[in-house]
Structure formats: C-alpha cells, structure tokens
Amino acid sequence: MAYHKEEQYDESVTNGLKEFYRNSIALLGEDPEREGLVKTPERMAKAMQFLTQGYQQDAKEVLNGAKFTEAYSEMVIVKDIELYSMCEHHMLPFFGKAHVAYIPNGYITGLSKIARVVDIFSRRLQVQERLTHQILDAIQDTLQPQGVAVVIEAQHLCMMMRGVQKQNSVTTTSAFSGQFEDGTTRAEFMKLISSDLMGRR
C-alpha cells in the first residue's frame, strides 16, 4: 500500500506533529521562521507518518491476500531484502537486510508479500529482536508452513552518530521455527543466504 499521496496523511496527526516539530526546532536554538525551515515541520510530520505507516497495515492480511495452494515443499528463500526501521529508544534509524525463508506445507505466498511483511514491521518503532520475531510469527501463523527462518543484519545510527560511536558494528538477529530448529536445515539456509548464486556477493 503506497503512502505518499497527500490524502493518505492524517490531517490531525500532521497538524499535531507540525506544532511539535516547530517547537522542537525552536528549542534546539534554530529559527523556525527561517526560509529553509519554514516547511520543515510539515515535511517531518509527513516523513514520520511514512516511516511509521506499518501501524496501519496488517501483515497477515497481506500474506492471506496472496496465499496459493501449491505442493512445493522445498525451502523458499527471499534474501537481501533491504529494510529501514527506527529504534524505539532514540527514534534514530537502523537499516540493513532481512533474509527470510519458509518451507511450505500446502500453501505458498506471493514473493513480494514477504518483502511487504518486512516493511510493515520495519515501519514502526522497533528493536531488531522484536522485528525479527514479528516477521517470523506473521508467516508462521498465516501459511502454517513446515518452518520459517528470519535473519536480520543491521547497523544502528544510535550506535554510530552518537553514544558509543562505533561505525562498523553490525548486529545480527535470527529466529527459527519448525524444521529450521533442526541443525541441518538451518545450516542449509545459512549457507544459501551467504552464497552468491547471482554473483552479487
């Protein structure tokens, strides 16, 4: 669901946030009336609604909307799904890649829906661990596959721009259900997500 059209921003939310960001700019010692900043509160109000639009979206509805009966029962992996989220502690971005797999049990879903589910849970205030589990649970609950695996690798701006100021640390989180709890299946998934079948790594 696109969220860039004017009418998709909630007017009362936009107005409340505009006021809030105008005050924030002044509190930070800037002049909110300065030419370059006059429209900034409105831009921020819209940007923040865009970045948190996941609260208005239902991952299970998206997955069920493209749930197809299919006998395929090997691993389906969608890897390198880029994600942008915001840590709930500092409301600063964290960004990276999600790798998602499932082993069907009578049903498959549209491949794009896997990426949409990543977006739906990313566009909220998050911690990387919960994001990882929410993606897994949504797929497990709707497709009821033989197993789901989710690995997220991300960098957190709150650890880069401020605080501990570490520029190269990458946080990896993972969640596994069903057959992926078995070491062999999990190892196959880990091998496939680090392979370069299309020469991209």
Ligand X SMILES: Nc1nc2c(ncn2[C@@H]2O[C@H](COP(=O)(O)OP(=O)(O)OP(=O)(O)O)[C@@H](O)[C@H]2O)c(=O)[nH]1
DSSP, residue by residue, 3-54: --SGGGS-HHHHHHHHHHHHHHHHHTT--TTSGGGTTHHHHHHHHHHHHTGG
Task: Please select the residue that binds Zn ion; options are 158, 160, 190, 192, rule is CB under 5 A.
Answer: 158
Helix (H) or strand (E) holding 199: none
| Nearer to ligand X (CB atom), residue 69 or residue 165 | 165
Distance CA 19, CA 47 (A): 15
Selection from Zn ion, ligand X, none that 164 binds (CB < 5 to 8 A by kind) is: ligand X
Binding site, annotated residues for Zn(2+): 87, 90, 158
Q: CB under 6 A: which stretch of 62-70, 95-103, 123-131, 188-196 binds ligand X?
A: 123-131
Q: Is residue 67 a contact residue for Zn ion (CB under 5 A)? A: no
Q: Are 150 and 136 in contact (CB under 8 A)?
A: yes
70 classed as catalytic: no
Distance CA 148, CA 175 (A): 8
Q: Is residue 122 a contact residue for ligand X (CB under 6 A)? A: no
Q: Are 153 and 96 in contact (CB under 8 A)?
A: yes
Task: Please select the residue that binds Zn ion; options are 34, 39, 43, 89, rule is CB under 5 A.
Answer: 89
Q: Is residue 129 a contact residue for ligand X (CB under 6 A)? A: yes
Binding-site ranges for Zn ion (CB under 5 A): 87, 89-90, 158
